[in-house]
């Protein structure tokens, strides 16, 4: 059931689409699994840091920071979800008074998390200091502009598809710039990595594109129709994106750096990998 919002009222599709009990519970479940996983992996990343060569330890520590920041933001989204609907006559209806659900808090959180995720890349690819500063600055500029312009479209999304798409397009231009910058960092990563790890940075680019690319899909989804299923699909898309761009990405970087630390002869990494004497003796061509 759809009740259009009054003029000036909050206008995410979540604010005027009533949900069945199943849709409502699925939404709660998706948000709960998301923040639960982010909090739990703080421990994993802090423990991983102890196995790496000292120069790489900051990378999983930054993953732990991202987990905490985004876990708190998702916990807030989950609480808001619960506070924004009231159950009546077999449906969960968005409340006309009090709290209204909004995805805009996510965007706020990305201003913190995306720069950290991008700084991690330069550190993991072991760029020299000058390169790292220059390229991180450009990546942070691109992501900040991408999020700010996307946020402008996200406010009042269902009022005006034209506005949503126009800002979406402007934001996509910055996303493409960001992809070019990320590719540049990963190219340096390919030449700078020890030979057995040279495939990782190239693969990471495609992983980056596929996972960061889920966010614009979630952004555009409401145009397919204001239905309860779509509300749930959007939370699901956001959740898969959150779990891959931050958590799985962090695991990939930690594993890459564990191997790199072992190839560079760092004892705890060699022991942690447990690959036997082959790993203990670094190949002669490692840098
Ligand atoms: C927006 C607006 C529509 C166009 C594009 C977007 C891209 C968003 C991205 C967000 C990534 C967020 C991450 C968060 C981690 O915490 C803003 C939805 C291109 C790529 C990785």
DSSP codes joined into one string, 34-56: HHHHHHHHHHHHHHHHTTS-GGG
Enter the pTM of the model.
0.92
For domain 13-280, give the fold. Rhopdopsin 7-helix transmembrane proteins (1.20.1070)
Ligand 1 and 250: CB distance under 6 A: no
Q: How confident is the model at residue 280 (pLDDT cuts 50, 70, 90)?
A: very low
Over 90: is that where the pLDDT of 36 sits?
Answer: yes
Phi, psi at residue 92, to the nearest 5°?
A: -90, 115
Q: Please tell me the distance between residue 142's alpha carbon and the centre of ligand 1 in angstroms.
A: 11
For ligand 1, whether the C-beta of 234 sits within 6 Å is no
Segment 169-193, tens digit of pLDDT: 999 999 999 999 999 999 999 999 9
Residue 168 beta carbon below 6 angstroms from any ligand 1 atom: yes
Give the range among 92-101, 114-123, 194-203, 209-218 with minimum mean pLDDT. 92-101
What band does 282 get if pLDDT is binned at 50, 70 and 90?
Answer: low
**C-alpha 106 to ligand 1 mean position (Å):** 10
pLDDT digits (tens, 9 = 90+) for 49-102: 999 999 999 999 999 999 999 999 999 999 999 998 999 889 999 887 767 888
């Amino acid at each position: 059931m759809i009740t259009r919002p009054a003029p000036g009222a909050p206008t995410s599709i979540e604010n005027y689409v009533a949900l069945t009990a199943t849709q409502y519970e699925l939404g709660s479940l998706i948000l709960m699994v998301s923040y639960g996983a982010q909090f739990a992996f703080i421990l994993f990343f802090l423990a991983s840091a102890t196995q790496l060569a000292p120069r790489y330890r900051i990378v999983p520590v930054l993953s732990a920071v991202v987990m905490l920041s985004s876990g708190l933001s998702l916990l807030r989204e989950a609480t808001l979800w619960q506070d924004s609907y009231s159950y009546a006559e077999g449906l969960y209806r968005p409340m006309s008074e009090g709290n209204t659900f909004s995805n805009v808090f996510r965007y706020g959180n990305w201003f913190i998390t995306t720069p950290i995720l991008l700084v991690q890349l330069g550190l993991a690819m072991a760029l020299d200091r000058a390169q790292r500063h220059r390229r991180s600055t450009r990546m942070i500029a691109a992501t900040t502009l991408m999020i700010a312009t996307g946020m402008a479209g996200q406010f009042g999304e269902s009022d005006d598809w034209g506005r949503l798409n126009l800002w979406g397009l402007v934001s996509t231009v910055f996303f493409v710039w960001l992809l070019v910058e990320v590719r540049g960092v990963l190219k340096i990563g390919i030449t700078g990595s020890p030979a057995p790890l040279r495939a990782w940075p190239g693969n990471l680019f495609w992983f980056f594109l596929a996972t960061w690319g889920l966010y614009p899909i979630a952004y555009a989804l409401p145009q397919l129709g204001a239905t309860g299923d779509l509300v749930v699909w959007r939370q699901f898309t956001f959740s898969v994106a959150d779990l891959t761009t931050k958590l799985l990405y962090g695991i990939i970087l930690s594993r890459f750096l564990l191997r790199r630390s072992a190839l560079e002869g760092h004892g705890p990494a060699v022991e942690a990998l447990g690959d036997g004497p082959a790993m203990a003796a670094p190949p002669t061509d490692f840098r």
